[in-house]
Structure 1
């Protein structure tokens, strides 16, 4: 008897779900006849589309308004509820006259007579971005840079040579930043083919963009700056890194197993490097101490600032004499996994303990490098960086 009861209960539950499934797409009220159309329609062209404003019919049974229009040869629709009076049409990649139908829908899913509108979109975001793209020589490879004043999400497909010299997809980057650049490195200062293609979320794709004047460029020569003539200098407001087995000179000894270690209560902590010559720097690499098998815990660097100076600095270490190498000034080491705190994933561990940071191409050559640690992964009052390396071109004294 107990088994029969259970089976009956399950059968009733199943029928209940089936009943719900059958009603999912049914009207939510009885027919009230064809609803009225929208009125007082105004259209404002915008980049890649238009903003349409209207007045809803005075009808309590209205569910909303949908716009039906063609985009890239396909009919698409956009719906807004009865509580809205604005609908945005977007995704166009031309400046030709377009048409759309505004249709009121009531709770019985009955549709009004359409109100037909026409408009001419402004230049699309993807076209505007394409027109600003530049591919120029950078240290060790091509630098792709662009402006995105509409801050539209754009996919950038960057092409560079593979190991055989054939042009191949090398990097995919999705960004809505207003201004951005990216360099693909690892190439000698020899002529190479490069290109870029842009896509947006509406399946609009640009033609292939090449460097100005041709399809190739020659990267600038890049080397790791030798440390044989480098030395650490300690300014009056620099931090002592000679605690707990650390030595300040270990920060430039080309050995990631050694480290500098500041004392408790010394944050923020700074150190200064005399590189022995002026350097047109392309990037620098910060290496954290390997602690518990990874770089994301204890006194390892999480946030920091970097500065450069051409001439010998004042002994007092006055920060006003130094030029920030990054904008905004603070740099941050981010785990590949993106998770917060000191927890790590296999992806984080596999990434390693060294982190690249680019120096803006426009930065002048300088001799003195200064780093200020502003935060650690375990929010300690001390820090223990392992190494710092510099890349670019040595310019001599």
Structure 2
């Protein structure tokens, strides 16, 4: 008899668990509350029109069951959009427009049962997208081994500058040379091209897939090659900063090691600022650029390039017959340079674009009007820590040695 009762009890327990499980599964995707009454609408609406977007501010109804406010709208390219704002906020940002002009936005309140109110239609008048001002500032032109791209992006809008060439079928196609950035001062070089005419098409796209007009231009890159790193050597002069102990000498600039400690060049902290060093290129050449890879300083938060002794503000000087006493009157100032972080973030923060930019090395262009030089002298005015000490992982020189 006990045996029969035990079987029945097990069957009963199994059926209870089955019903509970089914009920739980059925209710997983349903609101915890059930209130079919639509909430009241927002009121006292104020619209602030901005570049490519508008902010809708409002007052909320006095409703403890209110969960959020949402708006629906359609972009100029036909993309339907929906944005939400919690019941703790009193505004919605309607973003993604290209051209200026009046648009309609529908605003809803939604309760905890996901029941929406009747919409309120709000007319906004967003201004022209920053996309067009960026395009109007856009310039491209020939550079050594490629072309340069120059544009202004004061609002730091996330954009893609799409560089297009024609494929074998005559269609415009992008390649790996397109530029993705949100920095305010855009200046990039695209290299690795032959010294033949290229017909480029350039357009700018934002994250909402809006695109600007297209710039068409024929570019003929100037000849450039990398000088063999075995050709140039350190050329210490009086007045140049001594190196740190343990042999962090000038030969570390050209040892083909870009990240490993202690394979870097670093000057002694005890020397007075600014710190300078000199190299001999082995022959007088038309220099197109100097490329420097910063040493990634390791901290408890990771590796930082825009940090400590990496150069931030510096000068490049050239000479063909430097004074042996190290004085500067036999040198020509080629240019003064400053390193910027594309993101503009504070010292101990880096974006993915910052890291990509630094890992690729920093190209410092030499004016095409500069004469040929055999000797280069770099004078570090200020590092990222605010002093004159400098650290460099690797360095290369490019130009036309013909």
Q: Same fold (TM over 0.5)?
A: yes
Q: 1:325 to 1:41 in 2, by over 3 A?
A: same
> In structure 1, which of residues 75, 99, 107 is the aligned counterpart of residue 112 of structure 2?
107
Are the aligned partners of 1:95 and 1:121 in contact in 2 as well (CA < 8 Å)? Answer: yes
TM-superposition CA deviations, 1:361-382 (whole Å, max 9, x none): 669747533276979xxxxx99
The runs of 5 or more residues in structure 1 that have no matched partner are 289-295, 341-347, 349-353, 376-380
SS of the aligned residue for 2:338 comes to: coil
Which shifted more, 56-65 or 276-285?
276-285
Question: Distance between the aligned counterparts of 1:163 and 1:86, measured in 2?
Answer: 51
Tell me the CA shift for residue 36 of structure 1.
Answer: 1.5
Per the alignment, residue 27 of structure 1 pairs with 31
Question: Distance between the aligned counterparts of 1:284 and 1:160, measured in 2?
Answer: 27
1:217 equivalenced with 2:219 (yes/no)? yes
Question: Distance between the aligned counterparts of 2:9 and 2:292, measured in 1?
Answer: 70
> In structure 2, which of residues 172, 188, 200 is the aligned counterpart of residue 194 of structure 1?
200
Say how many residue pairs are matched. 348
Per the alignment, residue 52 of structure 1 pairs with 56
Question: Distance between the aligned counterparts of 2:80 and 2:360, measured in 1?
Answer: 47
Q: 1:167 to 1:58 in 2, by over 3 A?
A: closer
1:85 equivalenced with 2:93 (yes/no)? no
User: 1:307-386, aligned counterparts within 5 Å?
Assistant: 307-310=315-318, 312=322, 315=326, 324-328=336-340, 356-360=361-365, 365=370, 368-370=376-378
User: 1:1-397, aligned counterparts within 5 Å?
Assistant: 19-31=23-35, 33-71=37-75, 72-160=77-165, 168=173, 169-211=175-217, 216-225=218-227, 232-240=235-243, 248=250, 250=251, 256=256, 271-275=277-281, 277=284, 279-284=286-291, 303-304=310-311, 307-310=315-318, 312=322, 315=326, 324-328=336-340, 356-360=361-365, 365=370, 368-370=376-378, 388-393=395-400
Tell me the CA shift for residue 105 of structure 1.
Answer: 1.4
Question: Distance between the aligned counterparts of 2:365 and 2:11, measured in 1?
Answer: 71
Question: Distance between the aligned counterparts of 1:323 and 1:9, measured in 2?
Answer: 84
TM-superposition CA deviations, 1:58-107 (whole Å, max 9, x none): 12221121112122324322111111101011111122310011111122
Q: 1:267 to 1:278 in 2, by over 3 A?
A: farther
Which shifted more, 66-75 or 221-230?
221-230
Q: 1:65 to 1:171 in 2, by over 3 A?
A: same
Q: 1:138 to 1:115 in 2, by over 3 A?
A: same
SS of the aligned residue for 1:170 comes to: coil
Question: Distance between the aligned counterparts of 2:200 and 2:10, measured in 1?
Answer: 69
SS of the aligned residue for 1:127 comes to: helix
Question: Distance between the aligned counterparts of 2:391 and 2:24, measured in 1?
Answer: 61
Tell me the CA shift for residue 32 of structure 1.
Answer: 6.2
SS of the aligned residue for 2:135 comes to: helix
Are the aligned partners of 1:238 and 1:272 in contact in 2 as well (CA < 8 Å)? Answer: no
Q: 1:247 to 1:173 in 2, by over 3 A?
A: closer
SS of the aligned residue for 1:220 comes to: coil
Q: 1:69 to 1:231 in 2, by over 3 A?
A: closer
Are the aligned partners of 2:243 and 2:267 in contact in 1 as well (CA < 8 Å)? Answer: no
Q: 1:243 to 1:80 in 2, by over 3 A?
A: closer
Tell me the CA shift for residue 389 of structure 1.
Answer: 2.6
Q: 1:40 to 1:234 in 2, by over 3 A?
A: same
Question: Distance between the aligned counterparts of 2:160 and 2:147, measured in 1?
Answer: 18
Per the alignment, residue 299 of structure 2 pairs with none
Question: Distance between the aligned counterparts of 2:223 and 2:237, measured in 1?
Answer: 32
Tell me the CA shift for residue 256 of structure 1.
Answer: 4.9
Question: Distance between the aligned counterparts of 2:141 and 2:222, measured in 1?
Answer: 10
TM-score (norm 1): 0.68
Q: 1:279 to 1:42 in 2, by over 3 A?
A: same
Tell me the CA shift for residue 109 of structure 1.
Answer: 2.5
